[in-house]
Structures are given as C-alpha cells and as structure tokens.
Amino acid sequence: MKAVQVLFDETLLQQLDRDPEVKRDGRSAVLRRATADYLRRVRRKEIADAYQRAYGAKAGLGNDLAGWEDQGAWPEK
C-alpha cells in the first residue's frame, strides 16, 4: 500500500472519528472501502450511460437495419 495525504475540515474529521466502524477498523480501512464503493458507482454509471447511448430511444437499429423497425411482432397467444 502507499500512503497518501488527505485533507479534511475539522468537523468532518470529528464526525468520521465518532463512527463505530472507524473506531473498530480505523480511518484508513473505512476510507479505502468508501473509495472502492465510489469507484464502483462511477463505473456502473459509465456502463449505464454507454448502454443508454447504444440502445437509447434515439439510437434505433442503426443504418444496417434502417426501415425494419416496425417489422418485428410478438407471437399471438
């Protein structure tokens, strides 16, 4: 692991230090988990945005299938 310097305002640091999870596991462990959670959320949003761009309402079926959008139908029961 590599040490990094992070600045917190006093109030936020006091709130962090009062947390039971921080008392049990330490600041570094909690901040590592929080950072990992943040990066997972960012990655999920990037993936969701990519899907939206690729399959969103404006994307359609692309040039290769232009004109065929209305040809699909669900089978009758």
pTM score, whole prediction: 0.67
Within a domain: 31:
yes
Residue-wise pLDDT for 15-40, tens only, equals: 999 999 999 999 999 999 999 999 99
In a domain, 3, yes or no: no
Output the pLDDT for position 76: 76
Nearest CA among 44, 20, 42, 43 for reference residue 30: 20
**Residue 13 within a domain:** no
The number of CA neighbours under 13 Å toward the Cβ of 74 is 2
Number of domains composing the chain? 1
Interatomic CA distance for residues 19 and 10, integer angstroms: 15
Domain that holds residue 33: 26-57
20 part of a folded domain: no
Taking residues 2-7, what's their average pLDDT? 95
In this structure, are residues 33 and 27 in contact, taking their beta carbons and an 8 Å threshold?
no
Residue 76, in any domain of the structure: no
Structural domain includes residue 37: yes
Confidence of residue 60 (pLDDT cuts 50, 70, 90): low
In a domain, 72, yes or no: no
